[in-house]
Chain A
Amino acid sequence: MSQTLLNIKNLYVNYETDEETVRALNGVNLKLNKGEMLGLVGETGAGKTTTALSILKLLPKDIGIITNGQIEFDGKDLTKLKEAELRNIRGERISMIFQDPMTSLNPVLTVGEQIAEVIELHKTLDKKQIESKVNEMLELVGIPAKRKKEFPHQFSGGMKQRVIIAMALSCDPELLIADEPTTALDVTIQAQVLNMMEELKHKLNTAMLLITHDLGVVAQICDKVAIMYAGEIIESGTAEDIFEAKEHHPYTVGLFGSIPNLIEKTNRLKPILGLMPDPTDLPQGCKFHPRCPQCMEICRKVHPDDRQTETHTIKCHLYK
């Protein structure tokens, strides 16, 4: 058994504004071992990004509040750390890749300077060593080192995303959080970036938390999968569990059902009917029950517990 690196226990996050309280996360449990790649899947608004941001404690100031739960990273509870201690962890031990490569780079600094900054902040190296590390990182992601003097606008979208990945990896982090790293890219570039990330995972033995709504991506590169709905992990397990096991949460079934199938001939896609519940006013019982095709009486009243079989966990009343 490999060592647990990240262990999120019963995490609750609220976004509190003057008008309303948005219950973004409602008891998230998530475990990630060293060197593993976990795919976090879910609809827009399910709380995927909130989970990522709360790990780094980058939730919007004064609005995003962790109301309950623990985020254990390498045995330490991140929710209890001071800002200065967190700063040492950010970028060095946990780093993050943001969704949109177009806006994640500072337009007035060269890409070399931006990669160098991460190293400067966390390592005590002299200028020459930093320079050579920057070159090394750029080569690692497949960008000629001589381009480090160029500005972000001189790079294409895919190249920018590579620069961001180079930045994120330059301090050899133990955990890399990638928040939809490929959604802003076109398909061919997506494949390149994903292949590169997979390669890097093997090379550097970095654990990755890959946030996406693309099940294809997950099937391709993830070891483990967690499916989120309305701020909860409703099903999780190894990739085999999710893609091949017989028993599934009805939401997962719906999610797979909404992917067009090459073999069957269909004229229409099969979406999951209805919308995500309003996070300011969540339904009682199982949060999926208003949309669930197999909804039972108990689902409306009682919140289901996890049912665990080996590695596979499902949060549904169907399975007892």
Chain B
Amino acid sequence: MLRYTVHRILLMIPTLLGVAVLIFFLLRIMPGDIVELKLLGEGASVTPDVLAAERARLGLDKTLIWQFVDWMGGLFTGDLGVSMWTERPVAHEIGIRLELSLQVAIMATILATAIALPLGTLAALFRDTWIDHTIRVFAIAGLAVPSFWLGMVLILGLLLVFNWIPPLTFTPLYEDPWANLSQLIWPAIAVGYRYSAVATRMTRSSLLEVLKEDYIRTARAKGVYERLVVARHAMRNALLPVITVIGLEFAFLIGGLVVTEQVFNLNGIGKLFVQAVAHGDYTLVQALVMLVASFFIIINFVVDMLYAWLDPRIRYG
């Protein structure tokens, strides 16, 4: 088990390296030049010398390889560099937004899991009854309704019914939990609904699949209580694919809530991503991609660890 864990951790390094190489060179292929955007943006005319000087200042005059080496050197020493657009450290730009994005992602995940596991289980156990049909309607609606639209409906509903709208500025959880939650619970619901729909469907189909297994029949033939058949014999096996879905969705939420963040006026990672790409802000985009990639990789690692914990065949493989 220890070997397995160490092996998985070591494997993360080449994966991240691959991501770094890919994003660095892909960005350079993309059209758009931050220097021109910055200096020519307001319709001003600038001499080529000024442009060249600015390029040199940002380190864009060096060969690609040297730029890459510089960046990698920074990465290994923990220096993500300075945003080419705002001139502020990248770590700072990301830091102030990550707190918010991470909180929304965690809240949405908790919400989705809390809805999906019981509903999915009920749907499987009462397959093809009105319970299953009702849950199916709930889940399919969740898949069909875009999160941002649900977000708008939520805001409108709050406005019309309670004549209240959530706060528009972010307060950290530790400063004022009430203000914080009353702002962030709504995007978490908007995103969590769709998320729970995916997980509900997965829980249902996975549990139905497991309930058909021979060992479930064995458990019943032993005279095990039906509740225990589900809780002890079926659930652990059925959870494996559900965990994968939950993990991947979580990683996606970190950087993927572009439109929902707009709707709730949230200053999150998604919004920052869009701005950085629009500005051609190489350092910031690279850092963001590395961040999201790291999240995916770490979540995958956590999922693998959970698998190993749930499934002895992996633990003792």
> Is the A/B pair a real complex?
no
